[in-house]
Amino acid sequence: MMDWRPKGFEFKAANLVRALFDTNTEEGRLLEAAACGHVEIFVAPNAWNGVLWLIMNTLKQDGKPVYSGEELGALKQSLPIVWL
């Protein structure tokens, strides 16, 4: 085993949603630990689709999504996640 690699965790879509929207969950704490480089989080790319659906369908103002596709793409790139 490679000692220099941090411990890794695989997230499904539900884990990713909990991590992003509730910092008091185990997933939220792991996301924070990943941002500090203490662990790695691995996520299949299709899990992001679930997050996108949730954001686009729940976060609206005057019936329109609050975030643009560009902003959501920037969010994905800024997450401390290894996309499989």
Q: Over the stretch 61-79, which tens digit does the pLDDT of each residue have?
A: 999 999 999 999 999 999 9
Average pLDDT over residues 33-52: 96
- HSE, CB side, 13 Å, CA atoms: give it for residue 42: 6
| Residue 2 covered by a domain | no
Q: How many structural domains is the chain composed of?
A: 1
Domain that holds residue 68: 7-83
| Residue 15 covered by a domain | yes
pTM: 0.86
Q: Does pLDDT of 34 surpass 60?
A: yes
| Residue 12 covered by a domain | yes
Give the pLDDT of residue 2.
60
| Residue 1 covered by a domain | no
SS3 25: coil
| Residue 68 covered by a domain | yes
Contact 39, 33 (CB under 8 A): yes
Cβ neighbours of residue 21 closer than 8 Å, sequence gap 6 or more = none
| Residue 40 covered by a domain | yes
Q: Does pLDDT of 1 surpass 60?
A: no
Give the pLDDT of residue 4.
76
